[in-house]
Amino acid sequence: MTPCRGLKHITFTMLPITAGSLSGFYRCEQITGACDIFDDRGVITSVSVESRLLSVHVELRDDQSCVFRSAAAPVEMEGRFLCKQRAIVVDRGVWRAARSF
């Protein structure tokens, strides 16, 4: 079980790379105590939607990989995330997102 590290303010910047494919960037704001210098930025390696389930896979600079899942929605979403470093779960929790542009 990982310790509760608090609220994270994160941003996904998604960019189209080919028809039907997305990539982009992950950023965790340093103003939140839950984000440290090693896991504050990452790269979105894949985005998929299957049966309305959105999955966003992120690779962080400290060798962590995270997956954020939610029911796909156009404006607001809420779901769960799981982060691993190699095969060890290092973080998990709930995330919420609101679209902004």
CA distance linking residue 50 with residue 34, whole number of Å: 30
Total residue count of the chain as it appears in this document: 101
Sequence ranges of the domains in the chain = 10-98
CA distance linking residue 31 with residue 33, whole number of Å: 6
Q: 11 pLDDT band (50/70/90 cuts)? A: confident
> In this structure, how many other beta carbons lie within 10 angstroms of the beta carbon of residue 79?
19
What's residue 96's pLDDT? Answer: 83
Q: What is the pLDDT of residues 19-78, one digit of tens each?
A: 777 889 988 876 655 566 666 789 999 999 899 999 999 998 888 899 999 998 888 889
Q: 2 pLDDT band (50/70/90 cuts)? A: very low
Higher pLDDT pick, 94 / 57: 57
Q: How far is residue 36 from each of residues 8, 31, 43, measured CA to CA in Å?
A: 10, 10, 16
What's residue 6's pLDDT? Answer: 61
Alpha-helical segments (H) within the chain: none
